[in-house]
Structure 1
């Protein structure tokens, strides 16, 4: 009876472990592909900043090919975000736009791919001081009633926000990101409207608080990629223990006979 139970357990564990065993190389391969995407976006940014648009477009084509192969691994909102960013950059590289606009879009792609594929602290969080300093600058402009300064600092803030927004979609808490985006949209839409200084200051305070929270959020570790490998090792350990127990049991049984 015990031998039968052990045999059944052995077979069940083997069946459970078998599909995972077939993908033993997938975690390592996945990490390698992610690194290739990250390296490509880094080089795209470098060539864009150097005004070598042909080289940047060539690298972007290589990125598109690798991305299409890896895209099904990610959720639809995430891959759509990366697709939109890459498409926007291609449009700008093919158009007569300012080098600053191309830099910002290339940086945005670099940051959102890092947010999607990287482990540990994402690069977009390094822009915390830049983003929050523009908010502080707008508040100071309101205090001094300098409308021209306020509009200029608002432009700077919107440019920076556009750079990190794709990363926020991928990496940030959905509810907080939606609240921030609504507040930023409201601020932008009312920029040409006569708004009471207290109301404007309230808008900026809310944006500052929410942005600080998002920048301070802990990012899930990239160790989740190791879960399949851990499952494989655990399955083989269980199989080994079951086999040893079954072998000892059969040896004792034959010894008694």
Structure 2
């Protein structure tokens, strides 16, 4: 194969890889924008419009996301469940406004978690989550069982907003550890004991801080970087080979001229 043909072939392969990723990014951006629009409409109580956007999201998600295998099975499961809850929120006129917004916000954060490659939006919930948790901890340290239960309910409501996003972004074992501690303090709240609960809450607080403190690393598909690296290397080698052939040809031509002279 001629050098130019080699370069052209690998240029086409690289461009094709970039095109595939660009198409995928375009779909994710579109889905993310739909989720955001649904949330904004919900906040202004424009529920019919929010419902229409969520239904369009489902169609687009099914056509592009599911069909083309853009998402993992866990992502499909989590986002589908979160979307179902958001749709239920905007169609149930008897639902409390705060609860409705909470469910749609949870869906919006989950959609962002799938599309974000660096700083997901759920990270911005750190202040709210940790503030609510601090109230739980304060009530426990004061031995106020009634305040403890009220604060714990508020914390759990806030935590469930980011829980679908955590299922998408966190390793399964890390999330399981966190959820098991939260389930424990919720299930056995009637056995409230100031000192014992202080130890549980201290451990839980450290886990919560960890999930917010580690920024996301670049999660670009390693296969893309492999293609880029290999293509670059081959192009460099090809150009080097072409230069060497040209140099060798010029030397031979010069020798022939010297012999004739």
TM-score for the superposition, normalised by structure 1 = 0.84
Question: What is the deviation of 1:159?
Answer: 0.5
Q: What SS does the aligned partner of 1:25 have?
A: helix
Are residue 214 (structure 1) and residue 211 (structure 2) matched?
yes
- Greater Cα radius of gyration, structure 1 or 2: 2
Q: Which residue of the other structure, out of 32, 42, 46, is the alignment partner of 1:38?
A: 32
In structure 2, C-alpha distance between the alignment counterparts of 1:51 and 1:23, rounded to whole Å: 43
Q: Which residue of the other structure, out of 128, 134, 137, is the alignment partner of 2:135?
A: 137
2:141/2:198 contact within 8 Å kept: no
Question: What is the deviation of 1:228?
Answer: 3.0
1:27/1:226 contact within 8 Å kept: no
Question: What is the deviation of 1:56?
Answer: 0.5
* Greater CA drift, 143-152 or 129-138: 143-152
- Structure 2 counterparts to residues 1-257 of structure 1, below 5 A: 21-68=15-62, 69-71=64-66, 72-95=69-92, 96-191=94-189, 193-221=190-218, 224=220, 228=224, 231-232=227-228, 235=231, 238-239=234-235, 241-242=237-238, 245-246=241-242, 248-249=244-245, 252=248, 255=253
Gaps in structure 1 of 5+ consecutive residues? 1-6
Deviations 1:82-122 (A, max 9, x none): 11100111122222311111111111111111111113221
In structure 2, C-alpha distance between the alignment counterparts of 1:251 and 1:203, rounded to whole Å: 74
RMSD: 3.0
Question: Corresponding residue for 2:259?
Answer: none
* Greater CA drift, 103-112 or 86-95: 86-95
* Greater CA drift, 7-16 or 56-65: 7-16
1:60/1:90 contact within 8 Å kept: yes
Question: What is the deviation of 1:174?
Answer: 2.6
Question: What is the deviation of 1:30?
Answer: 1.9
2:51/2:90 contact within 8 Å kept: yes
**Distance of aligned partners of 1:11 and 1:124 in 2 relative to their CA distance in 1, 3 Å threshold:** same
2:38/2:53 contact within 8 Å kept: yes
In structure 2, C-alpha distance between the alignment counterparts of 1:232 and 1:221, rounded to whole Å: 16
Q: What SS does the aligned partner of 1:158 have?
A: helix
In structure 2, C-alpha distance between the alignment counterparts of 1:153 and 1:98, rounded to whole Å: 19
TM-score for the superposition, normalised by structure 2 = 0.82
In structure 1, C-alpha distance between the alignment counterparts of 2:185 and 2:13, rounded to whole Å: 52
